[in-house]
Structure formats: structure tokens, C-alpha cells
Amino acid sequence: MKRLNLGAFAAISICAGAAAHAAQTDITVAMQLEPPHLDPTSAAAGAIDSVLYSNVFEGLTRFDADGAVIPGLAKDWEISENGLTYTFHLQEGVTFHDGTEFEASDVKFSLDRARAEDSTNAQKALFESMDTVEVVDPLTVRVTLSQPTGALLFNLAWGDAVMVAPESIDDIKSRPIGTGAFKFVNWVQGDRIEMERNSAYWGDAPALETATFRFISDPTAAFASVMAEDVDAFVGFPAPENLPQFEADPRFQVIVGSTEGETILAMNNKQPPFDNPLVRKAVAHAIDRQAIIDGAMFGLGTPIGTHFAPHNPNYVDLIDLSNFDPEKSRQLLAEAGLADGFTTTLKLPPPSYARRGGEIIAAQLREVGIQTEITNLEWAQWLEEVFRGKNFGLSIVSHTEPMDIGIYARPDYYFQYGKPDFVTIMETLNAETDPDARSALLKDAQRMIAEDHVNGYLFQLAFPTIANAKIDGLWENQPTQATDLTGVRWTE
Amino acid sequence: MTLWYSRNLLLGATLSLFFVALALISFVWTPFDVESLNIGAKLKPPGASYWLGTDHFGRDVFSMIMVGARTSIAVALVAVGIGMGVGVPLGLTAAARKGGWLDEVIMRGNDLIFAFPSLVIAILITAIAGPGAINAIIAIGIFNIPVFARLTRGAALSLWEREFILAARVCGKSRTRISVEHILPNVTNLLIVQGTIQFSLGILAEAGLSYVGLGAQPPTPSWGRMLAEAQTMVSFAPHLALVPGLAIVLTVLGLNLMGDGLRDALDPRIRVTRT
């Protein structure tokens, strides 16, 4: 096997030699987490989208690099006066990777599958207001809503709303068939996923011919793989302390983008003493955000005062509601009848923002008399114990979905807020299509959770990408979890 | 000859005692508080105010080494205690009932534990029971049991053939009494030597478990976790990896030298040949 590989490698080298001076057309992109399977429409794991979004799978609409919603497989659409009927006109000449044609019936199939009663889609709320999906003709689809949904086009751009081929569903978790510019070729579990250019792609052909995604979870190994140029780019580089070294090295470019990841100190709102708003407020005032950003992230990250991305135009700066004030924190604890402090659990998932941030927060809380018992958990354990089991006092996690403030309306969501007033705001927002009214509602929502101190709001996660200096076209920011390679090229 | 083994013993004991002293002093005094962070003073190289520099949270590395020594020594000591406390009586019993069913049960049980690679099973135990110093102690302790049980049984078996034991039996002493009054005192030297070696292995095992995140949990400093955290910073703050690494090496080296030295000093056969 080894010899075979070497032979193949030699063949490639010879070919490359023949095509001297032509720009490279293959790329190896590394990331930390490997997808559990390859169906973005049936799992919450962001790693699936990080590999497949836009490369293999496309939706009716899509996010571009700036987070704007632009046409995808639907080239345009009409919205009825009352906002209840959307008529989508599909791109012509689109085929799935298995050769079958992409038509209106596939749209109906994909949307009906995602919103079905027994659907395992992780974001079923995206499709909640859809009443019917009808095929008008092979290139036209009509979606009728039960109530106006201002965010419908935004919702359809999510990785959870991509178009899938009906024939491919049985094997989709291991053999994804989409309409994208790259075809899935091979998945070596625990190591890499390979793709090649889709020659029948309906849109602009990508510059790359082949792409390999590699999964390297250990930060030390990640550092070594980039330094040795084993990988051409590392998206979401896990060790921020190493960035200055890459910046100083002319072989690399360091791109630090923003993400939709609100990093929070989650508090279990149903577990005493965190069911007392005074205690939550005390915790919020005990936290020094800048120390966490400097200590855990080596300066990367923007402080936030609520569960909203600061680069969003509707963001309200509410940091003053929970400024660092240990004296006030102690007073609040005394008011809550906990002048002597208390002991709670702090359960931390693997990323360094959580592990390092947790140690810093534990030290800051100790200053005001709150003792924490730190437990480090692997992701599977964290999902089991904290996210599903709700067996925690405090935890740290980054919520990376775009515009996910709606999770606060879910009373059974792991931090268990779900205040009726907040639910009302979200329901009004979902039915509202006027941009100004939507903006006002979003601001009210941010204010309510910040004033209630549902969670400790720490910082917006930064997204460092280290790439070979000759690579152009990688996304800087992460408006959704994606590694869109369609516009990536080597400059020489 | 005498000089050589006493030099071993002296060097080993000095190194070991140095770290034990650090651990003991840390109960009453450390240069800085290891639990309070000072992000502003992070990653300082060794110097006048921070003797061995500071880590990525601005904690004083020397203070962490002192408190980390406490963690390492406590875990290893209790683990060896478990091994001796359970293993020695088992070994004595097995030897006293040589060939009987009790002997079989004890020794096959020991074989069973011995058959597993110790560190891997220690990882399994802490992964199932949850990470923490207590579970690390139990995991390391369990694997010390067969070491002491076998050693005790082997030494005790040959003692059982000796005349003074025969004399004791003739006097009508019970097997249990003979084991406690005559066998145990005669295997103590062996146990001390083996205990020292196991102690050093215990320190290594604790460092290994903390390195993979299964030992003492933060904020309690531990040498293994200091090493693990230093990994991505080796290129710009090498002292963060070198200092705990050296602490582990020197402690283990010291204990091994001391074990060798003790064996030479305590083993009557060697003593006879050398005089």
C-alpha cells in the first residue's frame, strides 16, 4: 500500500513538473474537529458544515463571505403582498453529483423531509412557519407560510436547509450527494475527507481541482503540521498563543476573523442558587472579561454584554450592565443571603477558551467568595451531562450558530431561561417583516437577557486561520460554520 | 565499594528530601499564591521576582512546583500505602497457606491485575470514575497491590523453610502469628526498597495521568498538567516545560538512586560480600 502511494505521488510529481509554473490546483485544509457523519440536515455538529457547506451542498439561498444572504440554487424569488407566499425560480441546468437533475420536486422533497414530524433536523425551528411546499413547474417552487416570517430567506441559507437528492438519502451520512462545486470522493475516518472539482457545476468553476480536509485535534500537532507545511491552511487554529510566530513568518498569512460564536458563562437558571437573579448578577459583576480574553485567548476576542454578535448592525452594547465590579458582586451576594459565598460546579468542554477561561473565571469567582469545583469533560460527556442532562451549575461554551438569541425562548434549553415575556418578543419577531420593527425587537430581546443576567456574557470568539501566503480567497469571517473553497485559488 | 553505594544513597536522599521539603514548606509558605491569577504578569522569564518565571496566567512557576510536589508526593505516597497495606497481608497469607486454595485465589487475582498494562488501566479507571486526585490514587494504588503481594510471598516462602520458623512452629505458634512476628520483620528491608521504587513509579504515573487531564483538577497545580499546558508555548516560553519536566526527572532519579542505595545498604548478602 505504501509503495502504491509512493507511486501515485511520483506520478503526481511528474505531472506537476510538466506543468511547471502553473498555479497549484490542490489544497489541504486542516481543522480541529472531524464531522461525526456527513449529513448536514440531520445533526447539530458544526463540523459537518465546516467541510460540506457550499462545497458539496447548496441551499436555495446562501451566505456569502460577509454573512449577507444571496441567491443560491434559487436565482430569484417573488414574495406576495401579505408575506405568506414565496415563489422561488430555480437555476437552470443544475445536476446532482450522481448525474440526476435538480428540479422543483427535489426542493419539495428536501424541505418536506427537514420539517417532517419525524425529521432529525437539528434546526427544525427554521422551517416552523412553512405550511406547504408546492411544485409549480420543474423550475418553480411555491412555499406558503402559516404566518409571515421575516427571516425566511436567512433561514433557508443555513446548512441545515441545503438541498439533498432523494435517491441519496440512505447513504447520505457516508456518501453525501449535493449540487456543489466539489464532489465528495473519500472519507478516511479519523484522518481526512477528499473532494474533487465537479466538472458539471452550474456556476463558476472553482480554481481548485482537488481538496483534502484533514482533522487535527491536538494543538501541538496543529502547530507542527502548519510549520512543516503538511497542510496549506488551518481554519480555526486552536492555539492563539502561537499566532505571533506565524505572523512573523513570511511563509504564512494569519487571518483573524469574527464568528457568530458568543462565548458565555452558562448558568443553570433552574438550579439554586442561580435561580435567584441577584446571584446571577453577582456572578456577572465578578467577571473581568478583559483578563479572560488576554489570559485564555491571548488577546483575541471582542467583549460582549449580551447574547448577540457585535458585528451585527442590531447589536446593543450592554457591557455596562455587567461591568467588572467585585465590590458590587459581594454586596449582591449579601443581598441574596449568601454573604459567605457558596460552592458550585464548573463543567468545561475541551476547547482552550473553556479550559483556560474556566481557570480564570474560577479564580475571579473565588475573589468574591464563590468556590467552584472544576470538571474537565470531553465533548460527548459535556453534551450528555450539561447540554442534555442539565446537571451543572456553571459551564463555558461558545454558541456558534448565527442569530441564535431565540434559544433563550426555549424553557428546556440547557440553561433553562424561557421567560414568558421573552418568548412573546421572539414570537412577535418571527411574525414581523418590517426591518425597523425587527431591529427594535432584537434590541429589546438583547436588553432583557442582559438585564436578567441569564448567563455571563464573555466575548465573541475570534476565528484565526493560518494559510500559506500564496492562497487567496479564504473566508475571513465565519457568518456560518463553513470553509467555502469555491473562490479559493493559489496566486502562483 | 562502600563509598559508591553510600554516594548513591546520599545523592538520592538529598534530591528526594529536597522535593519533600519543598512540598512541606508549601503548606506554610510559597513565594506567591498559586490560586490567584495575575494576567498582567504572564509568561515572564525566570528572574529576580519570579525565580522560575510565570505561566500563561501569570502564576509563579516556582510556587506551582512547590505545591505540585505536594500533589505528586501525596498521590504517590497514598498509592504506595494502598499497595503495601493490601499487598503485604495478601502475600503473607498466600505464603502461609502455600499450595492451598487461598494461595491460588490470591496469586491468580494478582496475575489478573498484573496482566493489564498499568497506566492504560489507570486511564480507564479515571475515565470511568471521573478525573481527580482521589481516583488517580486508587488507580495507581490498585496496581501496587500485586507488586507487594508477590514480593512478600516470594520472600516469605523461603523464610518458611528456615530453622527459626520451624522452631516457632514447634513451639505451637499459629501461622498468622508466625507471619506477623517472624516473617514480616524479615521482609521489611525488601519492602522499603521496593516501596521507594514504587513511590518513584507512582510519581511518574501521577504525572502521566495529569498530563492527559485525568489527575488532580485545576486549580490544584500538578506537574503533569503544567507540562501539558506548556506544550504549545515551548517555542517562546521554554521554561514552562523545562521546569516541571526537570522536577519530575529529578524526583524520580532521586528516588531510584535512593532505592538502589537502600538495597545495597540493607541487603544482608551484599553487606556480607562487601565486608
Percentage of the residues of chain B whose pLDDT score is greater than 90: 60
Q: What does the pLDDT look like over A319-333, one tens digit per residue?
A: 999 999 999 999 999
Interface contacts (A, B; CB < 8 Å): 56
Chain A: closest CA distance from residue B139 (Å): 18
Would you state the pLDDT for residue A10?
A: 46
Chain A: closest CA distance from residue B47 (Å): 21
Residues in chain A within 8 Å Cβ distance of B232: 219-220, 223, 239, 241-242
Please say if the pLDDT value at position A18 is more than 50: no
The average pLDDT across A422-432 equals: 90
**Averaged confidence pLDDT in chain A:** 91
Q: What does the pLDDT look like over A352-383, one tens digit per residue?
A: 899 999 999 999 999 999 999 998 888 888 98
Chain B: closest CA distance from residue A479 (Å): 28
The average pLDDT across A125-130 equals: 90
A295/B37 Cβ within 8 A: yes
Q: What does the pLDDT look like over A274-299, one tens digit per residue?
A: 999 999 999 999 999 999 999 999 99
Q: What is the 3-state secondary structure (H, E, C) of chain A?
A: CHHHHHHHHHHHHHHHHHCCCCCCCEEEEEECCCCCCCCHHHCCCHHHHHHHECCCECCCEEECCCCCEEECCEEEEEECCCCCEEEEEECCCCECCCCCECCHHHHHHHHHHHHCCCCCCCCHHHHCCEEEEEEEECCEEEEEECCCCCCHHHHHCCHHHCCCCHHHHHHCCCCCCCCCCEEEEEEECCCEEEEEECCCCCCCCCCCCEEEEEECCCHHHHHHHHHCCCCCEEECCCCHHHHHHHHCCCCEEEEEEEEEEEEEEEECCCCCCCCCHHHHHHHHHHCCHHHHHHHHHCCCCEECCCCCCCCCCCCCCCHHHHCCCHHHHHHHHHHCCCCCCEEEEEEECCCHHHHHHHHHHHHHHHHCCEEEEEEECCHHHHHHHHHHCCCCCEEEEEECCCCCHHHHHCCCCCCCCCCHHHHHHHHHHHHCCCHHHHHHHHHHHHHHHHHCCCCEEEEEEEEEEEEECCEECCCCCECCCCCCCCCCEECC
Would you state the pLDDT for residue B135?
A: 85
Any B CB within 8 A of A221 CB? no
Would you state the pLDDT for residue A48?
A: 93
Which residues of chain B have a Cβ shorter than 8 Å from any chain A Cβ? 35-37, 39, 42, 56-58, 130-131, 213, 217-219, 231-233, 235-236
- B228: nearest CA in chain A? A220
- Contact in structure between B264 and B256 (CB atoms under 8 Å): no
> Is the model more confident about A29 or about A123?
A29
**Averaged confidence pLDDT in chain B:** 88
Q: Identify the residue among B42, B57, B229 best suited for mutation to test binding to A, counting A beta carbons within 10 A and taking the highest.
A: B57
Would you state the pLDDT for residue A14?
A: 44
What does pTM read for this prediction?
0.81
Would you state the pLDDT for residue B272?
A: 46
B232/A242 Cβ within 8 A: yes
Would you state the pLDDT for residue A3?
A: 45
Would you state the pLDDT for residue B268?
A: 63
Residue B31 neighbours by CB under 8 Å, 6+ apart:
B50, B51, B60, B62, B63
Would you state the pLDDT for residue A4?
A: 46
Q: What does the pLDDT look like over B194-228, one tens digit per residue?
A: 999 999 999 999 999 899 888 888 888 999 999 99
Please say if the pLDDT value at position B3 is more than 50: yes
Q: Using CB atoms and an 8 Å cut-off, which of residues 163-182 of chain A contact chain B?
A: none
Q: Using CB atoms and an 8 Å cut-off, which of residues 274-313 of chain A contact chain B?
A: 291, 294-295
Nearest by CB: A239 against B42, B217, B232: B232
Q: What does the pLDDT look like over A440-460, one tens digit per residue?
A: 999 999 999 999 999 999 999
Q: What does the pLDDT look like over A199-238, one tens digit per residue?
A: 999 999 999 999 999 999 888 899 999 999 999 999 999 9
The least confident of A9-18, A110-119, A436-445, B250-259 is A9-18
Please say if the pLDDT value at position A111 is more than 90: yes
